[in-house]
């Protein structure tokens, strides 16, 4: 059986403050910047289950140096397709900690071995998914996630039917 690995982040829902859609638009000259008044993060909701083979983060090429030399973490949210979404929390697994961009235009490729099955969300943050400290803004031009779809979310049971 053959399958193709594609950029599953393209045009997905991104949670961030400034220009979140630019992070997954495949235009490397645009950028996304997280908010600076609370905590710095980007979250990509894949809206299905995916087997992720590679997470690629690309630094911006802008004139300023915002985002260079400051460490951040990458997390993945995984679950098994047979779990009930409403009744159980989802674990956040650390894919990489304390990584940083050291030059403009730099690409960081991550392989989250051992936690790449049934991924539903990717979270890039200064601090963790459960922490809310104030951090400098994150700034990058592209986040790409490569993988294969492994399942759909179960439909919610509607008591009104």
What is the pLDDT confidence band of residue 85, given thresholds at 50, 70 and 90?
Answer: very low
Query: What does the pLDDT look like over 88-119, one tens digit per residue?
Result: 455 677 888 889 989 988 999 998 766 667 88
Dihedral-angle region of residue 86 (phi above 0 means left; psi in -120 to 50 means alpha; beta otherwise): alpha
Tokens 């998914």 map to which residue?
Answer: 129
Q: What is the value of pTM for the model shown?
A: 0.74
**Which tokens in the block code for residue 32?**
């996304």
Query: Residue 99, Cβ neighbours under 10 Å: how many?
Result: 14
Helix, strand, coil abundance in the chain, percent, nearest 5: 5, 40, 55
Does residue 3 surpass a pLDDT of 70?
no
Domain architecture of the chain: domains with CATH: 6-150 (2.60.120.260)
Q: In sequence order, what E strands does the chain have?
A: 6-7, 13-15, 32-33, 41-58, 72-78, 92-99, 107-110, 119-125, 139-140, 142-151
Query: What does the pLDDT look like over 17-38, one tens digit per residue?
Result: 655 666 666 665 555 555 555 5
- d(C-alpha 133, C-alpha 114), whole Å: 29
């Amino acid at each position: 059986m053959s399958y193709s690995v594609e950029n599953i982040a393209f045009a997905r829902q991104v949670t961030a403050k400034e220009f979140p859609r630019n992070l997954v638009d495949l235009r490397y000259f645009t950028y996304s910047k997280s908010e600076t008044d609370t905590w710095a993060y980007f979250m990509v909701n894949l809206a299905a289950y995916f087997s992720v083979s590679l997470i690629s983060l690309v630094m911006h090429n802008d004139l300023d140096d915002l985002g260079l030399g400051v460490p951040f973490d990458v997390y993945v949210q995984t679950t098994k397709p047979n779990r009930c979404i409403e009744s159980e929390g989802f674990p956040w697994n650390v894919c990489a900690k304390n990584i940083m961009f050291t030059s403009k235009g730099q690409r960081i490729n991550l392989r989250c071995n051992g936690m790449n099955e049934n991924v539903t969300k990717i979270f890039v943050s200064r601090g963790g998914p459960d922490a809310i400290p104030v951090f400098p803004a994150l700034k990058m031009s592209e986040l790409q996630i490569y993988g294969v779809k492994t399942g759909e979310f179960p439909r919610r049971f509607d008591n009104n039917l």
